[in-house]
Structure 1
Amino acid sequence: MREHYSKRLVPRARELRRELTPAERKLWFVFLRTHPVKFRRQVPFERFILDFYAPSLKLCIELDGASHDSVEAQVYDAERSALLAGAGVLVVRFTNAEVEQNFAGVCAAIDAVCTGGVPF
Structure 2
Amino acid sequence: MRREPTEAEVKLWRILRGRRLAALKFRRQTPIPPYIADFVCFEHRLVIEADGSQHAESHYDQERDAFLAAQGFVVLRFWNHDILQRPRTIEDTILARCGLPF
Normalising to structure 1: TM-score of the pair? Answer: 0.76
Distance in 2 between the 1:39 and 1:114 partners? 12
Identical positions, percent: 43
1:110 maps to amino acid: I
Deviations 1:77-116 (A, max 9, x none): 1111001000111111111011112111111101111226
- Residue 22 (structure 1) shift: 0.6
Q: Which residue of 2 aligns with 1:100?
A: 84
Distance in 1 between the 2:34 and 2:5 partners? 20
- Residue 58 (structure 1) shift: 1.0
Q: Which residue of 1 aligns with 2:53?
A: 66
Unaligned runs of at least 5 residues, structure 2? none
Is 1:20 paired with 2:5?
yes
Q: Secondary structure of the residue that 1:115 maps to in structure 2? A: coil
In the comparison of the two structures, how many residue pairs are matched? Answer: 98
Q: Which residue of 2 aligns with 1:111?
A: 95
Structure 1 segment 44-55 matched on structure 2, within 5 A: 44-55=31-42
More helix by share: 1
Q: Secondary structure of the residue that 2:24 maps to in structure 1? A: coil
Normalising to structure 2: TM-score of the pair? Answer: 0.88
- Residue 41 (structure 1) shift: 0.3
- Residue 18 (structure 1) shift: 2.6
Q: Secondary structure of the residue that 2:98 maps to in structure 1? A: helix
Unaligned runs of at least 5 residues, structure 1? 1-15
Contact 1:41 / 1:53 at 8 angstroms: preserved in 2?
yes
Contact 1:37 / 1:114 at 8 angstroms: preserved in 2?
no
Distance in 1 between the 2:79 and 2:92 partners? 15
2:48 maps to amino acid: I
Query: Which aligned runs of 4 or more in structure 1 are off by greater than 3 angstroms?
Result: none
Who wins on radius of gyration, i.e. which is larger? 1
